[in-house]
Amino acid sequence: MGVPMSKYKILSIAIVLVCIIVSSAIIIVGYEKSLELSAYQNNLYLRGNGSAPVNLLSPSSTNSLSGSSADQCWLVIPKIGVNAKINSATVNGYNTVYHYPESVEPGQNGECGLLSHRTHYSGLFRELGTLKSGDQVIIKDYTLSKKYIYKVTSNGNDIRWDYKENPISFAQSGEPRLLLVTCYPPGRKMAAYITHCKLVSTTSLK
């Protein structure tokens, strides 16, 4: 009888271990869901108080302001292989870049803000950090049949660790500029990484 009892004990221990593993997995999933809910609530607040790369991984992170002329534009960054449509409806579109509706339209005086992911939803800005001063960034406007050519003026010097307390704002005047925004470090949301560009020429698409 000693051997069978030993087998039962081993089986019991195995069952307990499985229960512990399953329970741990449930707790972890529940914790992640609570973080997503908290992030979504913060995102709702930010919509009315400013913009920051928060909750970019949440499919519900959308902005009700849409219909911008930027929706008919494409962003092209030759050095890092980006060729993507611009939209002002969601930060989570595949192969699309988000235009901050509170920023100016491409080519206009002031700051135009574009945001994309590094590691999710196509990860269009995964190589953003490799851009150097002088590298070309192009926006093609198919509504106005214009091509706006920007050049990088600064990259890696503007990392905003306090973006949650001080949301990104965009100048509405001055020379035409472009801000490319993503999260930092890659795959995390500890800071806002901003690449600065200035408009150097405008040509016709035709």
149: which 2 tokens? 């050519």
What pLDDT was estimated at residue 199?
Answer: 98
pLDDT on residue 190:
78
Which pLDDT score is estimated for 109? 97
What is d(CA 17, CA 11) in angstroms, rounded to the nearest whole number? 10
Task: List average pLDDT for each run of 10 residues in the chain, which is 206 residues long.
Answer: 60 78 70 48 39 40 52 94 91 87 95 89 88 97 95 90 84 96 81 94 91
What DSSP character marks residue 95?
T
From the number of C-beta atoms within 10 Å of its C-beta (0-12, 13-18, 19+), residue 133 rates as exposed
The pLDDT value given to residue 163: 76
Q: What is the pLDDT of residue 22?
A: 74
The answer to whether the beta carbons of residues 131 and 155 sit under 8 Å apart is yes
> Are the CB atoms for 178 and 139 separated by under 8 Å?
yes
- 194, 131 in Cβ contact below 8 A? no
**pLDDT value of residue 194:** 93
Domains observed in the chain:
69-204 (2.40.260.10)
